[in-house]
Structure 1
Amino acid sequence: MTFKSAVARCFLLALGLQWQKPNRPIDGLPTNRPLIIAHRGSSGLLPEHTVEAYQLAVQQSADVIECDLAVTKDRQLVCLHVPWLNGTTDVASHPEFQDRLKTFSMFGITITDYFAFDFTLQELKTLRKVQQNSFRNQAYNGEFPIATFDEYVAVAKNVTNGRTIGIYPELKVPKFFNSILAAHNTTMEEILLESLQRHGYTEATSPCFVQSFDEDSLRFMSCRTELPLVFLTNDEISDGKMLELSKFCYGLGVKKNLIVEIDPSSMDVAREIDLVARAHSNKLKVHSFTFQNEFQFLAWQYGADPYREYDKFVPLGVDGFFTDYPWTLSNYFKTRCLCDD
C-alpha cells in the first residue's frame, strides 16, 4: 500500500499535478511547539555523530536526532558529516591506512584526505572521533568510534520512558556516492530506503524525516517512499520553487540567515524575511539550521544569549530548530511555557 501511494505521488508529479499531503501529525512528536532537532547529536558537548552524542541529546530532551550519511566500501551506512575523515577522526595517526590518502572533487572543491568509501565498516570502527571545533571541549577526543546508521536508529528506538524520538538522516553528495555504487547496481537512496524499511519507517507519519540538498535525490525517493522529505538549502527560494517543491516535499530545511538576516560585517540583525510565511502558504514546514550557543554565532542584539535568538525566531513560526545544544532549547521552551502536550 505504501509503495503504491508513493508511485501515485510520482505519477502526479510527472503530470505536474499537486500531491495531497496527509493532514496528520508525525507519530509521537510534539505539535504544540517547534521540534528540538539535535544536530549531529548533542554535538556542542561531545564529538558529533557518535552513539554517545545521540544518547546525550535524547537525555537532554531532543525530539529528533539528526545524522549525515556516508557509504563504506562494503556498502554500509555510517554517520559522518562529510565523506572525508581527517577533521573528525584520528585516521592520520593510523599508519596502516596511510596509503588511503586520495584526492577527489566534491562540493565544488578539490579535497585530499581519507574517504569513508575507501574503508570497510570494520576498518572504520578502528578509528576514534575527535572534536573538530577548537573552541569546544577536546577532552573526549579518541574516546568514541564512528556510529553506524543502525546504531543511530537503535538510540532512537531504545528509549524506555515512553517518549518517541524521531530520526532525521541526510543524504550527503548522493550523486558522488552513486557514481561509485553504480558498479554494484544500487544507489545511496536505495540503500537508505531499504534500511529504513527494515527498521519500520515507511509511512507518511513515521517519525523519520529524510533530508538532502540534492533535489534530484528527493525526487527519486518520492517515487519510492511516503516518508516526509525535506529539501535543504542555503539559498533564497522563490514562490515558484516553493510550489514546485511542495508537490513532493514535506518541508524545507533552511539556514537561519534566510529567516532573520544578519549583516556579516557588523553582526547586527539586518531584517526579518517572510520565508516561513511563504512556505506555510505552500503547505511546507520549515526547519532552520544551525543554532549554536557560542557568542560568535549570535547577533550583537542577542547579547550572547541564545534565548534571545529563539525569541526572535519562534514568533515567526519556525517548525523545528537544528541545534548543537538541545538542552538549551528544551530549557528555553520550559521558561517560555511551551511545554509538551
Structure 2
Amino acid sequence: MSTTPRTLVIAHRGASGYRPEHTRSAYELAFTLGADAVEPDIVATRDGVLVLRHENEISGTTNVAAHPEFASRKTTKHIEGVKLTGWFTEDFTWEELRTLRAVERLPQVRQAGSSFDGTERILRLTDLLAIIDRASAARGRSLVMVAEIKHATYFESIGLPLDELFAREIRGWATEENLIVECFEQTVLTKIRERGIPGRLVFLAEAAGAPADLVARDGKKARSYADHLTDEGLAQLAESVDGVSVDKKLAFSRDHAGHVTGPSDFVERAHAAGLLAFCWTLRAENRFLSKNFRRGSNASDWGNWSKEFEIVLRSGMDGVFADQPDLALAVRRRVEAQRRKAEKAALGTPAASVTPPA
C-alpha cells in the first residue's frame, strides 16, 4: 500500500470555473464534483458580519452599480498601497449587502459563468458553514474549509479586527480536521492561534512584493515574500505556521524560453522545513496556463491543462487550489493509479492486477 499522502483538492472560491465565485451553487457544485475542500475569501461588513467576496471592493463581483440607492457609496480608497475606486463591503451593513446579486468576475474568459449573473445572493461565512455541514453529512466524511482572511491589517485599522470576528463565528464549528486558515499576513494567523481556534495555519506567499502587515510596520524595509521562501525563511515560518502556499509559478522550473520543464524544488524545501506545501491556482483556460501548455490563441479556450496539472500533482504538493476541481481530481486519480502500478511492479506484482479507481 502506498504511504504517499493524497493531495488535497481545494475548490478555489467554490467551483469558480463553472459558476460565479463564492455563490451557493459554486460551493455546492464543488462538493458534487468531489472536492475535498472549498476556499472562501473572507471580508467584513460595517456591522462586523463576515461575508464571502474576492475583495472588499465589490463592483466586479456584484450588481451594486445597478442599485441607485447605493450610488453615493462609490468612493476611492487605498488598500495595501493600491488605489481603488468602487464600492466596499465595510461601507455596508449586512442587511444592505444581502440585497445585492453576484456576477461573474471574469466574464470575458468565463461566459458560461456569466449566464448565472444575478441569480444568487452573496453569502456570509455562516452560510458556508451550513453548506459544508450538509455536504459532509451527505458524503459521510469530513469536508474541509480553507478560509482566506483578506486585508487583515487594513480591516483592523478601521476597527474591524478579522481575527476577533472570525474566532467569534467559527468557534464551536472548527476542528483540527475541518479547518485550514490562510493569509498573506502572518500577524493575523498568529492572533487566530492565540485565540485558541483549532485547525492548521498556512502562510500565503506571492511571487513578488512583501506582506502587507510587514509593510505597514516596516515600510520599505519589510521582509519580502522571497525572503520568507529561502531555507532560513521557511525554517522560521515553521515555528509558527503549519504550511506555506505559493503562486503556481513558483511551483515550476522553466527553461530560458520560459517553458515549464518540471516542478521546482519548493515542495522538497518546504517539507524539509517541516511545512505543508500548497499552490494556487490550477485553471484550464489558456489565459492562466504556462505558455507551452496553451492551445490556440483564444484566451478562454482550454489548453493542455492536463499536462500542467500533472506536473503539480506529481510534485508531492499537499494541497492544490483549482477553479475546476473535477479536472484536478481526474489528474489525481491518474497519478495515483500510475503510482500504485509502479509500486506493485517494484514488488513483482503483475501490472494487470492494478485497477484504477472509479
TM-score > 0.5, shorter chain as reference: yes
Q: How far has the Cα of 1:301 moved from its partner?
A: 3.6
Q: How far has the Cα of 1:155 moved from its partner?
A: 1.1
* AA at the equivalent of 2:185: D
Residue from 132, 136, 147 that aligns with 2:123: 147
Residue from 182, 191, 209 that aligns with 1:220: 191
1:117 aligns with 2:108: no
- 2:181 maps to 210
Instruction: Provide the TM-score with structure 1 as the length reference.
Output: 0.84
Counterparts of 1:30-109 in structure 2, within 5 Å, are 32-109=5-82
- 1:290 maps to 281
CA distance in 1 between counterparts of 2:254 and 2:65 reads 37
CA distance in 1 between counterparts of 2:163 and 2:314 reads 35
Q: How far has the Cα of 1:217 moved from its partner?
A: 1.2
* AA at the equivalent of 2:283: Q
* AA at the equivalent of 2:49: Q
Fraction of identical pairs, as percent: 31
Structure 1: state its 5+ residue gaps: 1-29
The structure with the largest alpha-carbon Rg is: 2
SS at structure 1 position matched to 2:76:
strand
Answer whether contact 1:262 1:269 (CA < 8 A) is retained.
yes
Counterparts of 1:172-187 in structure 2, within 5 Å, are 172-181=150-159, 187=161
Residue from 193, 206, 218 that aligns with 1:234: 206
- 1:251 maps to 243
Answer whether contact 1:89 1:129 (CA < 8 A) is retained.
yes
Q: How far has the Cα of 1:311 moved from its partner?
A: 1.9
SS at structure 1 position matched to 2:78:
strand
Answer whether contact 1:181 1:188 (CA < 8 A) is retained.
no
SS at structure 2 position matched to 1:198:
coil
Q: How far has the Cα of 1:267 moved from its partner?
A: 5.4
* AA at the equivalent of 2:154: F
Moved over 6 A (4+): none
CA distance in 1 between counterparts of 2:262 and 2:80 reads 29
How many equivalent residue pairs?
Answer: 304
Alignment RMSD: 2.1
CA distance in 1 between counterparts of 2:200 and 2:316 reads 19
Answer whether contact 1:262 1:299 (CA < 8 A) is retained.
no
- 2:222 maps to none
Structure 2: state its 5+ residue gaps: 208-225, 295-302, 338-355
CA distance in 1 between counterparts of 2:75 and 2:50 reads 21
| Superposed CA offset, 1:52-93 (max 9, x none) | 100000001000000001111111000011001100110000
| Superposed CA offset, 1:249-284 (max 9, x none) | 110111111110458x96522664211111101110
Instruction: Provide the TM-score with structure 2 as the length reference.
Output: 0.80
Identify which of structures 1 and 2 has the higher relative contact order when contacts are C-alpha pairs closer than 8 Å and 6+ apart.
1
| Superposed CA offset, 1:186-228 (max 9, x none) | x2101101211132x1x4x231000100011112223223421
SS at structure 1 position matched to 2:85:
strand
CA distance in 2 between counterparts of 1:47 and 1:81 reads 11
Q: How far has the Cα of 1:115 moved from its partner?
A: 0.4
Answer whether contact 1:222 1:248 (CA < 8 A) is retained.
no
Answer whether contact 1:260 1:272 (CA < 8 A) is retained.
yes
